[in-house]
């Protein structure tokens, strides 16, 4: 088997907006919001929750969509403003001070209203890049209660060759009610994804057994081992979690065991 290279680091974040919250490793307890039973015993939940990093809004801000246009405000602002395209407060000047002369005037916007006024592009205040052949999956934070006021899209970015702002797109769902975004809550979760994991070949090809009668003997044995035996002879709670953690400590989680 060819080993998947593990570059260190796989992903690098660059803070562009001064003082904005740095990304953090995604948390197995989802910032303390998971039920303690799931956190303690459900390795599947922990693994999905802690895979990757959280990125946060660079400032507290609010959006209000009335069904035809969006207005917005931010911490420290005295009013609501119609949203077309907006810079992070004061960022344009900051960018121009530090950017090479030829790039002055080209600061990325913080919020952009797109063709569809309910569709908003939000920049985290970070730039991102990844190691060769590694992409990033930008998605809502795993297992964090979704906000009912908006829907976040997911995207896979080839950030090894596309260097740029780490942003996301969201669709406003709720009208006539302010939707608040806080720097205390992650906006997105960024997960490293090796290009080989999502090639067309991988996604186009999958196995399927059409009938239980066709289940191979090896699968019956594994069903017995994983499901039946633990029910006949109850194992300690969290045995699966313990075995996964043991395997992880023994080496590469992809190739060990």
Partner 1 sequence: MPRNKQKQPLARKSAKKIIRRRVVRLLDAATRDSGAIRFGSGCGPAILRK
Beta-carbon count within 10 A of 57 CB: 24
Can you say whether the dihedral through the CA atoms of 113, 116, 118, 122 is positive or negative? negative
Q: Is 117 in the site for partner 1 (CB under 8 A)?
A: no
Among 112, 147, 156, 183, binds partner 1 (CB under 8 A): 112
Q: What's the CA gap between 127 and 123, in Å, rounded?
A: 9
For the CB of residue 64, give the shortest distance to partner 1 in the complex, in Å: 6
Q: Is 240 in the site for partner 1 (CB under 8 A)?
A: no
Considering only residues 146 through 175, tell me which ones interact with partner 1, judged by CB under 8 A: 155, 164-165, 167, 169
Residue closer to partner 1 (CB basis): 178 or 238: 178
Choose one: 104-112, 193-201, 214-222, 224-232; the region binding partner 1 (CB under 8 A).
Answer: 104-112
Among 38, 92, 117, 238, binds partner 1 (CB under 8 A): 92
Q: What's the CA gap between 72 and 84, in Å, rounded?
A: 10
Nearest Cα to Cα of residue 166 among 6, 12, 7, 10: 12
Q: Is 71 in the site for partner 1 (CB under 8 A)?
A: yes
Q: Which residues contact 78 (CB under 8 A, 6 or more apart)?
A: none
Q: Is 57 in the site for partner 1 (CB under 8 A)?
A: no
For the CB of residue 80, give the shortest distance to partner 1 in the complex, in Å: 5
Q: Is 105 in the site for partner 1 (CB under 8 A)?
A: yes
Burial-class residue 225 by CB neighbours within 10 Å (0-12, 13-18, 19+): exposed
Q: Is 99 in the site for partner 1 (CB under 8 A)?
A: no
Choose one: 2-10, 24-32, 80-88, 201-209; the region binding partner 1 (CB under 8 A).
Answer: 80-88
Residue closer to partner 1 (CB basis): 75 or 247: 75
Residue closer to partner 1 (CB basis): 69 or 224: 69
3-state SS track over 10-49: CEEEEECCCCCCCCEECCCCCCCCCCHHHHHHCHHHHHHH
Q: What's the CA gap between 115 and 71, in Å, rounded?
A: 15
From residue 216, alpha-carbon distances to 81, 206, 210, 222, 223 in Å are 63, 16, 12, 10, 11
Is there a contact between 38 and 50 (Cβ–Cβ < 8 Å)? no
For the CB of residue 32, give the shortest distance to partner 1 in the complex, in Å: 30
Residue closer to partner 1 (CB basis): 45 or 64: 64
For the CB of residue 218, give the shortest distance to partner 1 in the complex, in Å: 45
Point out which residues bind partner 1 (CB under 8 A): 64, 71, 74, 77-82, 84-90, 92, 105-110, 112, 114-115, 119, 121, 155, 164-165, 167, 169, 176, 178
């Amino acid at each position: 088997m060819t080993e998947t290279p593990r570059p260190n680091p796989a992903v690098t974040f660059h803070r562009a907006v001064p003082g904005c919250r740095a990304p953090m490793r995604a948390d197995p307890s989802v910032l303390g919001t998971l039920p303690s039973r799931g956190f303690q015993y459900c390795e599947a939940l922990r693994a999905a929750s802690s895979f990757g990093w959280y990125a946060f809004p660079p400032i507290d801000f609010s959006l209000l969509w009335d069904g035809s246009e969006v207005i917005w405000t931010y911490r420290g602002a005295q009013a609501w403003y119609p949203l077309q395209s907006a810079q992070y407060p004061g960022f344009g000047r900051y960018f121009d001070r530090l950017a090479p002369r030829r790039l002055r005037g080209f600061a990325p916007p913080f919020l952009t209203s797109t063709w569809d006024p309910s569709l908003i592009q939000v920049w985290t205040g970070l730039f991102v890049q990844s190691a060769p052949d590694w992409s990033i999956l930008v998605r809502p934070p795993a297992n964090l209660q979704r906000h009912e006021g908006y829907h976040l899209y997911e995207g896979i970015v080839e950030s090894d060759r596309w260097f740029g702002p780490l942003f996301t797109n969201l669709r406003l769902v709720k009208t006539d009610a302010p939707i608040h975004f806080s720097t205390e809550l992650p906006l997105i979760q960024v997960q490293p994804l090796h290009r080989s994991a999502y090639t067309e070949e991988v996604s186009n090809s999958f196995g399927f057994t059409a009938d239980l009668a066709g289940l191979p003997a090896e699968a019956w044995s594994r069903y017995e081992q994983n499901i039946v035996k633990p029910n006949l002879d109850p194992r300690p709670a969290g045995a699966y979690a313990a075995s996964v953690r043991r395997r992880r400590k023994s080496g590469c989680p992809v190739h060990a065991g």
